[in-house]
Amino acid sequence: MTTAADTYTPTDRTVPTRSRERASYDRALVHSILDEAYICHLGFVRDGAPVVLPTLFARVGDRLYVHGSTGSRPLRATGDGVATPGLPVCLTVTHVDGLVLARSAFHHSLNYRSVVAHGTAHQVTDPEELRTALDALVDQVVPGRSADSRPANTKELAATAVIRLDLDEVSAKVRTGGPNDDPEDRSLRHWSGVVPVRGGYGTPVPADDLDPAVAVPDYLTAL
């Protein structure tokens, strides 16, 4: 049985105008899509013009943390939510799972999983929360890595900015399956189907100055 706690509430901004049947507000699905990624695209308006930046992110519960530099104007504009109202943003994450090749050019598509989150971002200023966020950002890329590296020192923390975005106005959208060929095209002698797209990791390459006695850690072998 699905309860209100299991889903996000749809809003005007999270209900798509096309292919509404592909939209989902299931909390577990949204989290799974986010947790499989570590690069997001952060959109906002700067000086009256739209800007979209690719950057690292991490999820901790129902909150996203986005990495940046203290010298970045958009990150400074987020403020702390007290002195300044924050920065309206739109954050997106997408996985491509397959190339959908139809007999007609019009019906070519992609199988994908995506998340779009809207909200107001604020800069993380609490030292304890900042360290939690930075550990989460490292572990989002390689789980377990934050415990196996030197934490940021005071100087590095001063040069690093993290913004948070609460997962409140958010939706997922998913396409699966084969091509939607028109009936009159199904006799055409063009190949039609799906080419799966899969990611993967190569063998870790040690740094040139790494002591040969330092073994590849288990969390990297697990990748």
For the beta carbon of residue 130, count every other beta carbon within 10 angstroms.
19
- What is the model's pLDDT at position 92? 98
Mind listing the pLDDT tens digit for each residue in 187-211?
999 999 999 999 899 999 999 999 9
Mind listing the pLDDT tens digit for each residue in 90-100?
999 999 999 99
Mind listing the pLDDT tens digit for each residue in 134-149?
999 999 999 999 999 9
What confidence tier does 154 reach under pLDDT thresholds 50, 70, 90? confident
- What is the model's pLDDT at position 4? 62
pTM for the full predicted model: 0.90
pLDDT tops 90 at residue 186: yes
Q: Residue 17 class from Cβ within 10 Å (0-12 exposed, 13-18 middle, 19+ buried)?
A: exposed
List helix spans (H) across the chain: 27-35, 73-78, 127-141, 154-158, 218-221
Mind listing the pLDDT tens digit for each residue in 46-104?
889 999 999 999 999 999 999 976 666 666 666 655 556 799 999 999 999 999 999 99
- What is the model's pLDDT at position 129? 92
Where is average pLDDT lowest: 73-87, 103-117, 166-180? 73-87
- What is the model's pLDDT at position 160? 87
Average pLDDT over residues 165-171: 96
- What is the model's pLDDT at position 143? 95
- Helix or strand holding residue 102 (H, E): none
Q: What domains can be seen in the chain, in order of their start residue?
A: 4-180+207-221 (2.30.110.10)
Give how far Cα 182 sits from Cα of 39, 177, 186, 192, Å. Answer: 36, 15, 7, 12
**Contact call for residues 41 and 116 (beta carbons, < 8 A):** no
Average pLDDT over residues 21-31: 95
- What is the model's pLDDT at position 214? 94
**Contact call for residues 163 and 7 (beta carbons, < 8 A):** no
